[in-house]
Amino acid sequence: MKPQPTVANMHLSISFLLTALLAFTNVVKAETGIAEVMSALYIDNRDLQCDRIHIGKDFIYLSPSEEITNTTAWSQVVEGPDLTSKYNVRSGDRIRVTYKNTTNSTTGSRRLLLTPDEDLVSIDVLQTAVPHEIFTGTQIRVRSMIYIIKTCGWEASANVTQIQNMYFQAANSISGYHTNCTYGKVTFNSSDSIVFGPVEVPCNGTVSNGILTYNFDASINCGSAEQFAWRTYAENAARAAGHGAFMDAAPRRRIVHILPREVKCPWAGLGSVGCGGSTCTVYIKGAYALSLTVNMHELGHTQGLSHAGRGYDEYGDYSDVMGTASSEGYLCMNVGNQFRVGWNTMLANLNTVTTNNPGNTGLVGRWVIPATNLTENNALFLNYSTPTVRFPNMFVSFRTRGPLYDNVMPTNLMDQVFVHQFNGTASERDYNRTLLVATLVTNGVYTSPFVDRYPDTTSGGGVKIRVVSITPGVSATVQLCHFTQLNETTCNDGIDNDCDGIIDNCVPPASVSPVVYSSPQLSSLSPTPTPPPPSPPLRSPPKSPPSPPPSPAPRPPPKSPPSPPPSPAPRPPPKSPPIPKLKSPLPRPSPRRPPPSPRPPKASPPPRPSVRKPPPKSTATSRPPPS
């Protein structure tokens, strides 16, 4: 989505064109400095051409000095979607930016490149930021200066009391958000923060920090110059008021600006991705000044988190504040995002072979997953990737609505089993998005993508996840089954190769709901009504990676995986596809032979499968679910 060109940047473009005509081409110039990567939350702006689907936008700013301090200025290098993947830059990195030298002026004209890309030749990371937002055993104390900005004759959008209340005192607060959603691993205490303001910033003028000088005009623009002016005036005012010692002694300092309603910013909020230097920056537009979830969304970016998507909507996960919160309150991060920042631990890491081992119930493939609000040990991690087969990594969790955790989980999502894809790692440089691929109620089934590696059972294949039962507010019991064939063709190996619940059943079961088999990438099989956002249709089923011949040398994973959705103009998806519904639990054809024999008695768990032999295949669907 393209922001409206403002008068200011049109003006800049015109003068730029004039100088470009006179300038030499094919000459480059470079600037070195510290990167600030910003991610915008476009809450109001859905792209009409993309069927009102949210598309995010990033900005990369450059501070041409060795470290980010209060005297550092920035200018915009580039803006657009998915810049972190495109340039692999993170906040706090030292970078070299190379431009086409389309102007020969050397004096005073650091260019504010408001029109992206054309002049940018490359961004090279010279030195990566020192990571420090991921929990590794020591409680992380977040500090902040929160400024209320007044400018251009526009009123402040909130007063200090209101902001203090929202951040630290209300029944649901930013402080509580941090403590509760991180299981106490991150604190955002009032004793570590100062709310300051209102700070009166001139509407236009020149802002300088001794290194760079910018003209800004907030009455018509909301670019990097205006943002820099707000930050500079606010920081100087706070220092003048005696807060300098606190500010200088506060690593991980979030500099939050609460802006007037009328500012010309196209986003609801803008936040640094990570807090890689000693500070990071957040802007909140006035209409959202008192929105707990917009403030938390931006602060989530400062933790290093990306968006939580569903389908083609980058913000389409309504179970995560990094997606879309449909009401104000606690909507904690999904288990993939929690994994990214080290807030949760896994019940198990499963691969293709261990999926069919006994779960924590003692039964093959069967797991009890506690609600995320009860424990940080809250997810199953399914990693089927090998050096030769790329497979989406999956996280299975159970979400409910607790009084201080997920208390605004939408009704049609609560007490359900969630399946998320998240390919990232708990690494500061990781900016993978989570993707919600299924929400399941009892008897709901998710069938993963399938990679045909038969008869190899140690890689590829797919997984079926069936919800056996749910105890609302407490836990869910799920049945996992790794399958190696879509339709069983080996009818006498004593294995249920396709996880249809029947060993050696080679007859395509008549009662099979085709959706279970035909669509390797299901968005949802929940028999409940669709969540409020129209579940975004898939443009086309993502291709399962073709199974390459096993190569002796492990193929390194691609640097940046294909970013999920958006080309600027994706084919408009069909309006509202019916969500496939599963009428009966899992299709259960009348067995031609008795169901797999070891029907484990309640008292004694089944024998553990031998590690050396392929484990017995699951009997996921051979028993009626507990009523």
Ligand X SMILES: *[C@@H]1O[C@H](CO)[C@@H](O)[C@H](O)[C@H]1NC(C)=O
Please identify the residue of the shown chain whose CB is closest to the bound ligand X.
176
Is residue 24 part of the contact set for ligand X (CB under 6 A)? yes
Q: Which is nearer to ligand X, 511 or 576 (CB)?
A: 511
Is residue 70 part of the contact set for ligand X (CB under 6 A)? yes
Give me the least distance between CB of 48 and ligand X, in Å please. 25
Is residue 69 part of the contact set for ligand X (CB under 6 A)? yes
The structure tokens 């859905």 sit at: 46
**C-alpha torsion angle, residues 11, 14, 19, 23 (rounded to 10):** 140
Interface stretch with ligand X, choices 16-24, 117-125, 358-366, 573-581 (CB under 6 A): 16-24
Is residue 428 part of the contact set for ligand X (CB under 6 A)? no
Closest listed residue to residue 13, CA positions, set 113, 110, 108, 105: 113
Interface stretch with ligand X, choices 251-259, 290-298, 314-322, 422-430 (CB under 6 A): 422-430
Buried b / exposed e over 89-103, threshold 16 CB at 10 Å, is bbbbbbbebebbbbb
DSSP string, 331-382: -PPPHHHHHHHT--EEEEEE-TTGGGSB-TTSSBTEEEEEBTTT-SEEEEEE
Q: Which is nearer to ligand X, 514 or 568 (CB)?
A: 514
Quick one: 455 exposed, middle or buried, by C-beta within 10 A (0-12, 13-18, 19+)?
exposed
Is residue 618 part of the contact set for ligand X (CB under 6 A)? no
> In the range 235-274, which residues lie near ligand X by CB under 6 A?
239, 248
- Asked if residue 455 has a cis previous peptide bond (ω within 30° of 0), the answer is yes
Interface stretch with ligand X, choices 318-326, 391-399, 523-531, 612-620 (CB under 6 A): 391-399
Give the Cα separation of 237 and 279 in Å (integer): 17
> In the range 87-106, which residues lie near ligand X by CB under 6 A?
101, 104, 106
Per CB under 6 A, the list member of 115, 487, 490, 513 interacting with ligand X is: 487
Is residue 115 part of the contact set for ligand X (CB under 6 A)? no
Judge contact between 474 and 371, C-beta under 8 A: yes
Q: Which amino acid is at 184?
A: G
Give me the least distance between CB of 277 and ligand X, in Å please. 11
Give me the least distance between CB of 606 and ligand X, in Å please. 27
- CA distances (Å), 357 to each of 319, 361, 602, 606, in order? 30, 11, 18, 11
3-state secondary structure 386-431: CCCCCCCCEEEEEECCECCECCCCCCCCCCEEEEEECCCCCCCCCC
Q: Which residues does 521 contact at the CB level (< 8 Å), separation at least 6?
A: 437, 448, 449, 538, 541, 542
Give me the least distance between CB of 299 and ligand X, in Å please. 15
The structure tokens 């002016």 sit at: 229
- CA distances (Å), 330 to each of 83, 274, 402, 580, in order? 29, 21, 9, 30
The dihedral region occupied by 117, where left means phi > 0, alpha psi between -120 and 50, and beta the remainder, is left
Is residue 293 part of the contact set for ligand X (CB under 6 A)? no
Q: Which is nearer to ligand X, 487 or 530 (CB)?
A: 487
Query: What letter would DSSP give residue 109?
Result: -
> In the range 356-375, which residues lie near ligand X by CB under 6 A?
371, 373-374
Q: Which is nearer to ligand X, 292 or 620 (CB)?
A: 292
> In the range 128-187, which residues lie near ligand X by CB under 6 A?
139, 141, 159, 161-162, 171-173, 176, 179-180, 184, 187
Compute the Cα dihedral for 21, 27, 30, 35 and give only its sign: positive
Is residue 560 part of the contact set for ligand X (CB under 6 A)? yes
Structure tokens belonging to residue 111: 């260019």
Per CB under 6 A, the list member of 255, 369, 486, 582 interacting with ligand X is: 486
By CB under 6 A, how many residues form the interface with ligand X?
Answer: 71
Per CB under 6 A, the list member of 65, 76, 84, 526 interacting with ligand X is: 84
DSSP string, 574-586: PS-PPPP--SSSS
Per CB under 6 A, the list member of 57, 253, 301, 390 interacting with ligand X is: 390
Give me the least distance between CB of 20 and ligand X, in Å please. 9
Give me the least distance between CB of 68 and ligand X, in Å please. 9
In the stretch 318-347, what mask flags binding to ligand X with x, by CB under 6 A?
------------------------------
Per CB under 6 A, the list member of 386, 397, 443, 524 interacting with ligand X is: 386
- Asked if residue 81 has a cis previous peptide bond (ω within 30° of 0), the answer is no
Interface stretch with ligand X, choices 289-297, 559-567, 588-596, 618-626 (CB under 6 A): 559-567
Interface stretch with ligand X, choices 116-124, 221-229, 560-568, 572-580 (CB under 6 A): 560-568
Is residue 71 part of the contact set for ligand X (CB under 6 A)? yes
Per CB under 6 A, the list member of 9, 65, 397, 432 interacting with ligand X is: 432
Question: 227 — phi, psi (to 5°)?
Answer: -60, -40
Q: Which is nearer to ligand X, 127 or 425 (CB)?
A: 425
